[in-house]
Amino acid sequence: MVNIILQIAGGIMLVSMVLSLYRFFKAGSLVDRVIAFDVMTIISISLIALITHISGRTIYIDVALIYGLLSFLGVIIIARYLEKSL
Amino acid sequence: METIKIIGAFITLLGSVFLLLGSIGLIRMPDVFTRIQAGTKASTLGTLLSLLGIGIIYLDIAGKIFLLIVFILITNPVSSHMLARAAHHIGVKKANITVVDKLAEFKKREKNDETQKPETT
């Protein structure tokens, strides 16, 4: 029962990732692309947490933590660069 | 014990539905600023709910998951705020139905003050 529900949740997350990938490729401006990238990284954190359940190894939570840290830093650096204050 | 795990799985399912809604908003919104709104709020709540569900299923790693939840809750609004400010700074086109823009009014007033200063002194 738990397995089936979590597989459905993973499928929904993959669909939403494909939708934001569509926005990533069909963007109006550069900021649009960065937003789509940000949403994709946030969805990836949830997917990595689901991989914890699928593979049964709890080390993947640490991977998700570092991934969130790096994506936050990347978005901040891109925003500072766009503001010409880096 | 099994019912608690099923409740956690349903919370994860609810979080993934919120993530889907955020992505649909990312596609359907007309403007950069409204896309930031849709993409950040919905996906923050979705990620929080999915991590909470996983933490309920695996209670032994709940500490790390709590750390991750606090981290996302702090950093995600900050990054979207920085992006919105940068987008306003480089002059991204707003939608036609935009009603109010307080930052543009503020910048205009500041510029007027700067130009009026040399005349008064």
- Encoded tokens for A68: 């969130």
With contacts defined as CB-CB under 8 Å, which chain A residues touch B85? 79, 83
Dump pLDDT digits (tens) for A22-48.
Answer: 988 987 788 888 889 989 999 999 999
* B39 vs A contacts (CB less than 8 Å): 20, 35-36, 38-39
ipTM metric: 0.89
Range A45-69 average pLDDT: 89
Q: Which of A23, A39, A65 sits opposite B43 (nearest CB)?
A: A39
Which residues, other chains included, contact A41 with Cβ-Cβ below 8 Å and sequence gap of 6+?
A: A67, A68, A71
Distance from CA of B77 to the nearest CA of A (A): 10
**What's the mean pLDDT in B59-78?**
90
Does position B8 have pLDDT exceeding 70, yes or no?
Answer: yes
Over residues B111-119, the mean pLDDT reads 75
The distance of Cα B78 from the centroid of its chain, to the nearest Å, equals 8
* pLDDT top residue among B113 and B120: B113
Out of A23, A45, A80, closest to residue B27 by CB: A23
Nearest residue of A to residue B17 by CA position?
A: A12
Domain coverage including residue A20: 2-82
Tell me what pLDDT residue B14 has.
92
Give the count of domains, chain A. 1
pLDDT band at B119 (very low <50, low <70, confident <90, very high): low
Are B32 and A29 an interchain contact pair (Cβ–Cβ within 8 Å)? yes
- To the nearest whole Å, the CA of A42 is away from the closest chain B CA by 7
Taking CB atoms within 8 Å and a gap of at least 24, the contacts of B58-64 are: B58/A52, B58/A53, B58/A58, B60/A58, B61/A52, B61/A58, B61/A61, B64/A61, B64/A62, B64/A65
pTM for this prediction: 0.86
